[in-house]
Amino acid sequence: MLISWYVCLFILYSFLGWIYETLFCIITSRHWSNRGFLYGPICPIYGAGVVLLTLLVRFTHHRGMTLSAVSIFMVSVIGSALLEYATSYVLEEVFHATWWDYSHLPLNLNGRISLFTSLGFGVGGIFVYYFLIPFAEHILNALHPLGVEGMSLVFVGIFSADLTLTITALVDFNEKLMYVEDSFNKNMELIIENAIRSMNHLRRGSLARIRLFRYRNKTISDNIRNILERVKRN
């Protein structure tokens, strides 16, 4: 039951994160863009981040502690930065693609994270802690345990299928890209080899013409010299 509960939370927050990212993109760039890594309307990084925050909240509550707004803010800033940097690094290393780039923002680290966005996630963490987590827990606790189990199974199936399709498409795309790159490199090597061969042929032809010119020039000079000597003798 507990695992199913967190699975449902993960999907819910991933969907809400996708809505936030999409609306943010529409407002700032004035065009539609699927901001998710997967085909479906979810951003797993948001689901993972909020689930980790929920686990932290439950852990502190079991210990009889209450996190202050400042603590939630700092945890969200640091946690989001670590999660975002690690996710960006893994995606770039595995799929050779970039899903976000903060290079245009000040105080960024390799374009993967920036102080501005991390502070924004810190504020978002406070909102999640005081509003979203209680709201989501209220909804899930109101459901029958079997309903939560069934929903989690459906979500896992859909998420797994989407993840499989996405990875397959990305791997296929990378293979095609590598094929195109390899073909381009081979063609460029062939073009360069032909160019060098043509230049060498032209160079050899030029050298031959220079030697012929020198030979003819020497022959003419010798003939002129012989004629002058004959004239002097006569």
Q: Where are the domains of the chain?
A: 2-184
Using CB atoms within 10 A of its CB, is residue 53 exposed (0-12), middle (13-18) or buried (19+)?
Answer: buried
Sign of the CA dihedral with 181 first, then 183, 184, and 189 last: positive
The model's pTM: 0.66
100-131 per-position pLDDT tens digit: 788 888 888 888 899 999 999 999 999 988 88
Would you place residue 74 in the very low, low, confident or very high pLDDT band (cuts 50, 70, 90)? Answer: very high
CA distance 71 to 9: 22
27-66 per-position pLDDT tens digit: 877 766 666 667 778 888 888 888 888 888 888 877 777 7
